[in-house]
Structure 1
């Protein structure tokens, strides 16, 4: 048995990722997708948020002073970090999500216990699944299966599962956090 993970020196008091935030083009549609399709729970919302003194938005949020956060919503989704969705209103806003290969590209990975059932479910919901699942049989990710899928607005998400662990774990002094075993 490994000793509990101890993070190296860095941010004083670091516990972990509390939330991840994403900007979406339509907060109502995004909420329906994450609640009705993915199975997350909306916890609370805030907004609107707008610049009151001329430089608050650029100073605090690194967006134009004219930007308005129409609303933001916080969600809980199984075991793992919370996430928040923003809907902004601002001239010149880029409405296309970045690709994974673009600077700032990203995806959110959802761990599932029954990978095949989850893929079937997404397809039955009309979700675009990209390609076929990738099954890792060697190397540090041996035992992992994953596939990307898209939200209705084109944001990339991922399904991932490794019910028997990953190849790197046998000799690793530090293991990656696993939502299937959140206490480890």
Structure 2
């Protein structure tokens, strides 16, 4: 048994969006996302109150009015939240503390970028080379902003990563989608 018990991996990322419908449509059109389930359906009451605020770290008076799990390819789930709150802030930029983006790993970066832009994303640049250890032949990366301003990196590394001598593990790489 490991020091931490059996750690299996990342299950999902949570993202608060201004509209679950808009976000779901964007992820479907841009990246072929599929809905796994709705955590809060239209007929459900919002999740709110002191208990929910305490459990989830919400500000007083915040209400979760929508919750949905979507999956892109065979990666972790993306849990979308629609929350009414007077304290909501804009999405983080790359220089801000906290989770500031996630990467969608693709086989055809130009096609993926075209689909993302057609779905409403704004490309910050053209496709460019990846960083050190990701810069193998035919690699590429481009950041896009979603319609609500969140950063997503679209990335391809068809010839894999290379690793320095001090590396303790290898980076997880998505395989062909099962969805």
Which TM-score band applies after superposition, normalised by the shorter structure?
0.7 to 0.9
Query: 1:98, 1:11 → 2: CA distance?
Result: 30
Q: CA deviation at 1:130?
A: 0.9
Which residue in the other structure is 1:21 paired with?
A: 14
Partner of 1:63: 58
Task: Summarize deviations over 1:48-84 as a string: whole Å, max 9, x none.
Answer: 2111xxx312320011231110010001110111110
Q: Which runs of 5+ in 1 are unaligned?
A: 1-7
Alpha-carbon spacing, 1:89–1:159, altered in 2? closer, same or farther (3 Å): same
Distance 1:50 1:180 in 2: 39
TM-score w.r.t. the length of structure 1 is 0.82
Distance 2:164 2:153 in 1: 22
1:129 corresponds to 2:148: no
Pair 1:103–1:76, CA change in 2 (3 A): same
1:19-168 equivalences under 5 Å are 19-47=12-40, 48-51=46-49, 55-94=50-89, 96-136=90-130, 139-143=132-136, 144-168=139-163
State the distance in 2 between where 1:62 and 1:148 align: 30
Identify if the C-alpha distance between structure 1 residues 163 and 169 changes in structure 2 by more than 3 Å, giving closer, same or farther: farther
- What's the TM-score, normalizing by structure 2? 0.84
Where does residue 175 of structure 2 map in the other structure?
180
Query: Comparing both chains, which one has the higher relative contact order based on Cα–Cα distances under 8 Å and sequence gaps of 6 or more?
Result: 2
Compare 165-174 and 26-35 and name the one that shifted more.
Answer: 165-174
Q: State the shift of 1:108 in Å.
A: 1.6
Aligned-partner Cα distance in 1 for 2:24–2:132: 37
Aligned residue pair count: 170
